[in-house]
Chain A
Amino acid sequence: DAGVTQSPTHLIKTRGQQVTLRCSPKSGHDTVSWYQQALGQGPQFIFQYYEEEERQRGNFPDRFSGHQFPNYSSELNVNALLLGDSALYLCASSLWVSSSYNEQFFGPGTRLTVL
Chain B
Amino acid sequence: KQEVTQIPAALSVPEGENLVLNCSFTDSAIYNLQWFRQDPGKGLTSLLLIQSSQREQTSGRLNASLDKSSGRSTLYIAASQPGDSATYLCAVYPDYGNNRLAFGKGNQVVVIP
Asked if B44 and A106 sit within 8 Å, CB to CB, the answer is yes
Q: Which residues of B contact A43 (CB under 8 A)?
A: 44, 89, 91, 101, 103
Binds B, one of A62-70, A76-84, A107-115: A107-115
Interface string of B73-113 (1 = CB under 8 A from A): 00000000000000001010100111111111110000000
Asked if A102 and B93 sit within 8 Å, CB to CB, the answer is yes
Grouping DSSP codes into helix (H, G, I), strand (E, B) and loop, the B interface class, with mixed when no group exceeds half, is: loop
Residue A71 is within 8 A (CB to CB) of chain B in the complex: no
Total A residues in contact with B, Cβ cutoff 8 Å:
31
In the complex, which of the residues B43, B52, B53, B96 contacts A106, with contact meaning CB atoms closer than 8 Å? B43
Q: Which residues of A contact B52 (CB under 8 A)?
A: 100
Measured between C-beta atoms, what is the minimum distance from B110 to chain A in Å?
15
6 sample A-B contacts, Cβ–Cβ < 8 Å, listed by A number: A6-B43, A43-B103, A97-B97, A102-B99, A108-B42, A111-B41
